[in-house]
Amino acid sequence: MELKYNNLDRTKAYKKLKKTKPVSLKKVLTSERVKEYVVDAGAGLRYNYAAKAVDDKIIELLSQLAVEQQLVEKYRALLSGDVINTGEKRKVLHHLQRGQLAEDVVHEGVNLREFYVEQHKKAAVFAEKVHNGEIKSQSGKKFDTVVQIGIGGSDLGPRALYYALEQYVMVKKGALPLKAYFISNVDPDDAALVLSQINVDTSLFVLVSKSGTTQETLANAELVSSYLKEKGIAQPKKQMLVVTSKTSPLAKDPDYLESFFIDDFIGGRYSATSPVGGVILSLSLGPDVFSDILDGAHQADRLALESNIRKNAALLDAMIGLYERNVLNYPVTAILPYSQALHRFPAHLQQLDMESNGKSVNRYGEPISYSTGPVIFGEPGTNGQHSFYQLLHQGTDIIPLQFIGFEKSQSGFDMEIDGSSSQEKLNANLAAQIIAFAKGRENNDRNKNFAGERPSSLLTAEQLTPSVLGALLAHYENKVMFQGFAWNINSFDQEGVQLGKILTKTVLSKNPDDKVLDSYAKLLKVY
Ligand SMILES: O=P(O)(O)OC[C@H]1O[C@](O)(CO)[C@@H](O)[C@@H]1O
């Protein structure tokens, strides 16, 4: 089928959507709807949209929009290796890291699925050798710690996934194969704190940079190397692994203990299921756990091919999000996991969503006249309830909410206090919030009045397991992808991060040609 890339405001369905009347949650949210408005999101994860301000008519128009913008067909084209990242003229192949959904993608004679599988296997074999003591530290000891040095996509996804499963693995395996730490910020206090907490003699370091040129990561690698030398480790690189692309400067250094490769077709924020996440997660949680994450993600990727929007959780979530952004004009979306294990997940989604869809030009570089990606933020519940929920309930803006919740905890550590367990209290809070936001409560005292009509969705599963986590990760990746297609933007480049990098260089050269920049640099004692 021939693909057409049209701006959102040129579609018929969008024009019809603009004319629809808002749906009142107070009227439509019934217990039948809670049971019916559910879609399988893969690996036991379910997307419940009962408390979203949509009805059958709006969903039908969103479905028409998805068809008109050929969203699933564009996803198929992406899977087949089309150059979807038009800005950088690259294929977009993160799905291929976790399974094959289209024909082989061959680039310059290399079957890329085989290349990705080979790198995953290499990471698994390496992790097993570390775990069984075949690979030891320079002083002949077993490694017990692994530290990732990377930033942005080379940090946020792997970090979020590690914390999401740290407790789960400790309970299942009795102990973590290796404890993981992360150094990302060029703020020297970040590295200092991590280094003060570990025994460097028994620590492996994973230097992760796809480009191999990121200032913060290279500075931290040098900082760590010199600290290791100070601590008597003669060859720091022999305790360091590299994850990078074959064309990066880091790839050319044979002194590192081992190197793992990705390619330019795996965007940083989409790289958690590549060796960028795979090396540290295989070392810290085990290759079996990483493989289950891939499996869950693959299940979600497969479901995202479904053409019926009511059976395609990522597509439906994407289109409801678009309706909230472009028809209801809500500028922000909150991610609210009722799971402490997911405490870094909103931070990952901030990059995933905002770096992908924070664009003002279409995929051809032409200005667009409609809103694109929302501001994303979030914190786990119930902590957020005691922080910013005041604004969510009674603030002047309506902020759509994305709740995430699980029936069971990961640890099983719990007890009944005042007639309920802590897990029951957690989920009672979650259920209560959904209703409080949707239905509100009238009070003659306006200060105590809850207007309600604040929409939310709920992603839920029995427990946060590796495969559920993989499905959750892929759900959001696919949601962001579908929204980008619908907005006709390129979700896979990030030119917006460049200007700051260029100006930083001019400051560090101590001679910026902008006088105001010079004043700020002096104010901050850069020179
Ligand atoms: O892996 P690299 O090349 O060090 O890049 C790190 C991050 O920097 C960015 O390019 C943005 O600054 C992200 O997109 C990327 O995830």
For the CA of 497, the closest atom of ligand 1 is: 12
Cβ atoms of 451 and 26 closer than 8 Å: no
DSSP letter for each residue of 355-388: HHH--SB-TTS-B-SS--PPEEEE--TTGGGGTT
pLDDT score of 416 = 97
**Amino acid present at 356:** S
Catalytic residue among 501, 505, 510, 522: 501
pLDDT score of 231 = 96
Check if 276 has its Cβ closer than 6 Å to any atom of ligand 1: no
What is the distance in A from the centroid of ligand 1 to the CA of 152? 5
For the CA of 150, the closest atom of ligand 1 is: 4
Catalytic residue among 26, 136, 386, 522: 386
Sign for the CA dihedral angle at 220, 224, 226, 227 comes to positive
pLDDT score of 1 = 78
What is the distance in A from the centroid of ligand 1 to the CA of 504? 16
pLDDT score of 113 = 98
Q: Whose CA is nearest to atom 4 of ligand 1?
A: 209
CB environment 244-260: b (16+ within 10 A), e (fewer): bbeebebeeeeebbbbb
Burial class (CB in 10 A: 0-12, 13-18, 19+), 412: exposed
Q: Which of 396, 381, 372, 300 is nearest to 334 (CA)?
A: 381
pLDDT score of 511 = 87
Mean pLDDT in consecutive groups of 10 residues from the start of the chain, 527 residues: 95 98 97 98 98 98 98 98 96 98 97 98 98 95 98 98 98 98 98 98 98 97 98 95 96 95 98 98 98 98 98 98 98 98 98 98 97 98 98 98 98 98 98 98 98 98 98 99 98 97 96 94 97
Look up 501 and say whether it is catalytic.
yes
Cβ atoms of 308 and 470 closer than 8 Å: no
> Which residue among 94, 210, 269, 279 is best mutated to probe the pocket of ligand 1, counting the most ligand atoms within 8 A of its Cβ?
210
Cβ atoms of 475 and 47 closer than 8 Å: yes
pLDDT score of 365 = 96
Check if 217 has its Cβ closer than 6 Å to any atom of ligand 1: yes
For residue 382, is the peptide bond before it cis, meaning its omega torsion is within 30 degrees of 0? yes
Q: Tell me: ipTM over 0.90.
A: yes
pLDDT score of 162 = 99
**Amino acid present at 395:** G
For the CA of 217, the closest atom of ligand 1 is: 4
For the CA of 214, the closest atom of ligand 1 is: 4
pLDDT score of 257 = 97
Cβ atoms of 323 and 54 closer than 8 Å: yes
For the CA of 208, the closest atom of ligand 1 is: 1
Look up 95 and say whether it is catalytic.
no
How many C-beta atoms surround the C-beta of residue 111 within 10 A? 13
Q: In whole angstroms, how far apart are CA 346 and each of 92, 338, 341, 394, 403?
A: 23, 12, 11, 22, 11
Q: What are the chain's domains?
A: 8-92+293-495 (3.40.50.10490), 106-287 (3.40.50.10490), 496-527 (no CATH)
**Tokens standing for residue 444:** 């003659």
Check if 153 has its Cβ closer than 6 Å to any atom of ligand 1: yes
Q: Whose CA is nearest to atom 12 of ligand 1?
A: 497
Check if 211 has its Cβ closer than 6 Å to any atom of ligand 1: yes
pLDDT score of 33 = 98
Burial class (CB in 10 A: 0-12, 13-18, 19+), 175: exposed
Q: Which of 275, 233, 285, 230 is nearest to 250 (CA)?
A: 275
pLDDT score of 252 = 85
Catalytic residue among 355, 359, 439, 479: 355
What is the distance in A from the centroid of ligand 1 to the CA of 212? 9
pLDDT score of 206 = 98
pTM assigned to the model: 0.98
pLDDT score of 398 = 98
Look up 355 and say whether it is catalytic.
yes
How many C-beta atoms surround the C-beta of residue 69 within 10 A? 27
* Chain centroid offset of residue 20 CA: 32
> Which residue among 90, 148, 149, 151 is best mutated to probe the pocket of ligand 1, counting the most ligand atoms within 8 A of its Cβ?
151
